[in-house]
Copies of this chain bind each other. A is one copy, B any other.
């Protein structure tokens, strides 16, 4: 990856603006998500009770909706937060974890799709399921390559007017017309829980940056890919990889 592909311009914006990012995410990845956002200079906040989520979503710069450990009461809070964010003109991003594989969350995600997400980030199975083109994978892992889901991603982007990122060995970001492919990363990223979920949080925060939204989300993908490469070079397994990954995000751009 060339230094310019790292999009240091967007990274500078991200760090100086420090987007206040309202994360409604799953129970498994909350700490890692917060630490990834902090390492990149953002301000994470997890606020979940319906009344509070509604209040906070209008104040925060961006909202992340991740359905990984969805419950009925969380779904209700998410809906109120989304409506509040939209009313306040704040972007929200949907991470449809395991949609297609599980009926309850699939129905929920289909319902909230009409609430105009600014962006959607998922793996191939999830994006295909959300676009109505597949029955989905067996869980959070995907059995399809991101490239195979690109037509579904484009269709979903056109249907929802959202930027859609379908991620995997190569990440693709599309608005339905344009496509950016982001290479890099390391297989070890799939052996640490939460790298995909944390990318969604960073992409959500990036939606609040000035400039072209597709470029900003592609930049977010690039930062994570780059950190993956740097961390893999310094680790002996997924434990030290996770630590080095957060360090790499913190130091991103220093030696490009």
75-115 of chain A: CB within 8 A of chain B? 98, 101-105
Residues of chain B lying within 8 A (CB to CB) of residue A27: 27, 30, 46, 48
33-91 of chain A: CB within 8 A of chain B? 34-35, 38-39, 43-49, 51-52, 55-56, 59-60, 68-73
A150 and B245 alpha carbons, distance in the complex (Å)? 38
For the side of the interface on A, what is the size category?
Answer: 35 or more
B39 touches A239 (CB 8 A): yes
| A147: interface (CB < 8 Å) | no
Residues of chain B lying within 8 A (CB to CB) of residue A133: none
| A161: interface (CB < 8 Å) | no
Partner among B20, B60, B191, B249 whose Cβ is within 8 Å of the Cβ of A38: B191
Residues of chain B lying within 8 A (CB to CB) of residue A71: 48-49, 73
CB distance from A20 to the nearest CB of B (A): 6
Q: Within the oligomer, what is the number of copies of this chain?
A: 3
A52 and B101 alpha carbons, distance in the complex (Å)? 10
Partner among B70, B193, B247 whose Cβ is within 8 Å of the Cβ of A238: B247
Known: A34-B28, A237-B248, A250-B237. A98 touches B45 (CB 8 A): yes
Residues of chain B lying within 8 A (CB to CB) of residue A35: 192-193, 238-239, 242
Q: Sorted from nearest, which 3 A-B pairs have the closest CB atoms?
A: A237-B247, A239-B246, A237-B250
User: What is A's interface to B at a CB cutoff of 8 Å?
Assistant: 20, 26-32, 34-35, 38-39, 43-49, 51-52, 55-56, 59-60, 68-73, 98, 101-105, 138-141, 191-194, 235-240, 242-251
Residues of chain B lying within 8 A (CB to CB) of residue A32: 31
Residues of chain B lying within 8 A (CB to CB) of residue A43: 139-141
Known: A48-B69, A103-B51, A239-B245. A194 touches B140 (CB 8 A): no
A31 and B193 alpha carbons, distance in the complex (Å)? 7
A46 touches B31 (CB 8 A): no
A45 and B98 alpha carbons, distance in the complex (Å)? 10
A44 and B68 alpha carbons, distance in the complex (Å)? 12
- Additional A-B contacts beyond A28-B34, A38-B191, A237-B248 (17; CB < 8 A): A26-B46, A27-B27, A28-B46, A39-B237, A39-B238, A43-B141, A46-B69, A47-B98, A47-B102, A52-B104, A56-B139, A59-B138, A191-B250, A235-B247, A236-B250, A237-B246, A237-B249
Residues of chain B lying within 8 A (CB to CB) of residue A70: 49, 52
Residues of chain B lying within 8 A (CB to CB) of residue A39: 191, 237-239
Residues of chain B lying within 8 A (CB to CB) of residue A46: 26-28, 68-69
